[in-house]
Amino acid sequence: MTATRARRTESEPVRRAQLLRAARKVFRAKGYDGASVSEIVREAGVAQGTFYLYFPSKKDAAVSLRDGLMETMAQAVATAVESRTSFEDRLESMIAASFKVARKNTDLFKLVFIGADETHPELHSESPEHASLLRVTTDLFRDAVDAGEMEGTDPEIAARLALGLLQHAMLEAFVFGEGEEVDRLEQGVSVLLLNALRRKTR
């Protein structure tokens, strides 16, 4: 069986994943603005029409990569907080898990936050995957408030603010800082959030 024929019989999820791998490689090499659909399909070894069966535009491929990153991060955070007991341990594990995912996917993190300068707001729409991460964090904070381990506050608001700080620290580490001072930024976020959220003993 030829390679071309094998590609034609691949399932839709496999073909979609193939296109996303190619898009990721081209985005990494060319950047979002420099990448083109023609280069993506050339990398994937498929006809240009095949790309449009799965993604209406280059933007949609980038958004799918973003959603995949957010899903990976949400799953990593959920697993991290489940394996710990105290609020302090769970919060530190959440931060460590987030940084670990970002370290392994620096190229995607740069793609996701390419619109930090608001040049590409289309890459910053809310996604179910981001909502999942917010839900995990909100549940963590709600449990801590109920257990008396965290200062009494609105858990969702606290989660949104905490994730905002975490996101900015990862931007500093992996986008603006090009991977410099990662450990210092991770530690800084941990200290700031623990000091802000942990229940004060009186």
Which residues fall within 8 angstroms of residue 140, CB to CB, at 6 or more apart? Answer: 81, 87, 90, 91, 94, 159
Class of the domain covering 63-197: mainly alpha
- Splitting the chain (202 residues) into consecutive groups of 10 residues, what average pLDDT does each group show? 46 91 94 92 93 93 90 92 86 94 89 60 64 91 92 92 91 79 92 90 62
CATH domain 1-55 topology: Arc Repressor Mutant, subunit A (1.10.10)
pLDDT of residue 114: 64
Half-sphere exposure at residue 25, Cβ-oriented, CA atoms within 13 angstroms:
12
What's the pLDDT score for residue 1?
A: 38
- Break the chain into its structural domains and give their ranges: 1-55, 63-197
CA dihedral sign, ordered 126, 131, 132, 133: positive
- Per CATH, 1-55 and 63-197 having the same topology is answered no
Task: State the Cα–Cα distance between residues 23 and 105, nearest whole angstrom.
Answer: 14
The CA-to-CA distance between both ends of the chain, in Å, stands at: 74
Question: Which tokens sit at 39?
Answer: 């280069």
**Owner of token pair 């500093």:** 172
Nearest-angstrom CA–CA distance, 140 and 119: 34
Angle (CA) 13 19 20, round 5°: 85
For residues 105 and 65, the answer to whether their CB atoms sit within 8 Å is no
Helix (H) or strand (E) holding 195: helix 182-197
pLDDT of residue 6: 44
Q: Which pLDDT value is given to residue 5?
A: 43
C-alpha span between 171 and 76 (Å, rounded)? 19
